Amino acid sequence: MNEETILERLNNLIMDNKEEHKNILAQTTKTNGSVADIQRWRYICTGVILLMNVFFVPIILAIAIQWILKAL
């Protein structure tokens, strides 16, 4: 193997490596966007559950307790 062949192969490896890095970066960007969307939904669901537990559950429990007491 002569020096030109080795340099040509190294240049080909560098070019292939750069292309693979571009593909990996593009996929990582897409994945990070998807994860951010999932986290946003998780935060919304957590907030809704928190609001339900703070406001609706006590009201429903109070109504149920009054109904049970009237039935006795």
Instruction: Return the CA Rg of the chain.
Output: 30
What pLDDT, on a 0 to 100 scale, did the predictor assign at position 30?
86
What pLDDT, on a 0 to 100 scale, did the predictor assign at position 34?
87
What pLDDT, on a 0 to 100 scale, did the predictor assign at position 1?
72
What pLDDT, on a 0 to 100 scale, did the predictor assign at position 67?
95
What pLDDT, on a 0 to 100 scale, did the predictor assign at position 29?
87
Helices in 1-72 by DSSP H: which ranges? 3-51, 57-71
Rounded to two decimals, the pTM is: 0.55
CA 72 to chain centre: 50
Which tokens in the block code for residue 29?
């960007």
What pLDDT, on a 0 to 100 scale, did the predictor assign at position 33?
85
Question: Which tens digits make up the pLDDT trace of 27-71?
Answer: 988 888 888 889 999 999 999 999 999 999 999 999 999 999 998
